[in-house]
Every structure is written in C-alpha cells, then in structure tokens.
Amino acid sequence: MRISDERYRRDLRRLQLAWRMVQLGARTPTIERWAALSKYQIRRLRKDYAGDAARKAALKGITPFRVEFFSKSATLRCEAPMLAGFLRHFDVLPPEGEVRVEDLPNLSRGERFCTACEQFRLSRPDSEISFEHAVMLLAELVRGAEIRLANCSGCGELVVHDCLSTRWPSCAYCLHEAHAGLPHCQRRPMALPLATQPPTEIETGEGVQRLLF
C-alpha cells in the first residue's frame, strides 16, 4: 500500500469519526481532540451534512464538568455504571494507571467510544446522559480523583462510587432499601432445614452450660 493511500484512509476515518460524534451531539472542541481535525473542517462538516437544528443544538450550553451529575437521581445512579460497563466492554476505559487523561483521545479509541455510546443510546434512548457527559465520565474514571468504579457492598453490582464518600459503595437499589429500612440489601445467613437443626434442651432433657459473657 502506498503512503498516499494510507493517509487517505486515515483522513477518511477521521471524517467518519467526526460525523459519528456530530450525530451523537458532541461539541466542536471535543471533536477537535478526538478526530484531530480543525474547527473549520468540523464546521464545514456540520454545514454540509447536519441540519439546522443539529447545528444549533451542538453549539448551545456549557460543557459538563461536575461529577455530581451522575448521582443526582436514582436513574442516573443506575445508568452511569451501565455506561461505564459499555466503555469497559469496548476497551475504551483503560486499566487503572495505564493511560493519562491527556492521552485518551485518539482515532481508534474514539471509534470504540462512539460504538459504546451508540449501544448505550440503544439501551437507554431517553437518558439524560449526553455524549459530553460520557466524555466527562471517561476522563474522571481514568483520573480517579473524584469517582471510581467499584462493586456494591450489598449485591456486588458495578457502581460509580464517590472517592470522597465515607459510605460503602452502594447501588441505587440497595441505597433505597437501606434508607427505607428494608432487609433486601442485608445479607442474612441461610437457616438450616428443620430436620437438620440441632435439638433443644427440652428435646434432649440434658442441661447445657451457657456463656455468661
């Protein structure tokens, strides 16, 4: 393969990645970092292929930056680990300490990132989590300063846990059960069947010495 052919393929992949991100609602600076295109190329892409409504929606609002967003409701507490699971499944989320946040954006990871977000959208089409929220979630999980992935202390499910919290990691269901005083989240030892339970004092007629303390 000639060098010019390889460069053409790479440039085509960058444009395709940029278009996928446009469709997912990414902002221009985000596409610049991940697709390595200039803002003029991205604006041209929006102008030629995106409708007026899509162009206006992409330029509104502030880029999300507060991780408290993922814990503001029980629904988001469930959806955030779901999205993180997709990111880990498609090899977007690297192992802890392997990649710096600044080194995350690249062409191949960006393609897998879009695939993970598309699958999440298919599973949760009405979710409040936007593409920019997904970018923030990925960056903060890699940074590991405010949030991290953990397992629920009650049921073992994957959760996005606040690193500064003094509570044990809990999913939305176990947290609700704990606040409501319900026993669902409490692990109890299984009772022995009646036939295998040890006989009592009355049944044996023998005295049993018990501990005073």
Each residue of 38-57: pLDDT tens digit? 999 998 998 888 766 555 55
Same domain, 57 and 74: no
**Among 31, 61, 91, where does a domain finish?**
61
Same domain, 84 and 128: yes
> How confident is the model at residue 204, as a pLDDT?
43
Same domain, 17 and 42: yes
Same domain, 144 and 48: no
146 within some domain: yes
The torsion defined by the Cα of 57, 78, 160 and 100, in degrees rounded to 10, comes to -40
Same domain, 77 and 57: no
Tokens 């967003």, residue?
Answer: 69
Q: pLDDT tens digit string along 47-94?
A: 888 766 555 555 556 788 899 999 999 999 999 999 999 999 999 999
Same domain, 93 and 53: no
Q: Which of 14, 64, 60 is nearest to 41 (CA)?
A: 14
Domain that residue 26 falls in: 1-61
Same domain, 36 and 51: yes
Same domain, 127 and 72: yes
Same domain, 49 and 90: no
Same domain, 53 and 133: no
The total domain count for the chain is 2
32 within some domain: yes
Q: Say how far apart CA 37 and CA 43 lie, in whole Å.
A: 10
Same domain, 181 and 83: yes
Phi-psi region of 107 (alpha: psi -120 to 50; beta: other; left: phi over 0): alpha
DSSP state of 185: G
Query: Would you place residue 25 in the very low, low, confident or very high pLDDT band (cuts 50, 70, 90)?
Result: very high
pTM across the whole model? 0.79
**Strand, helix or coil at 201?**
helix
Q: pLDDT tens digit string along 116-160?
A: 999 999 999 999 999 999 999 999 999 999 999 999 988 999 999
**Among 61, 78, 98, where does a domain finish?**
61
Q: Is the pLDDT of residue 195 over 80?
A: no
Same domain, 107 and 161: yes
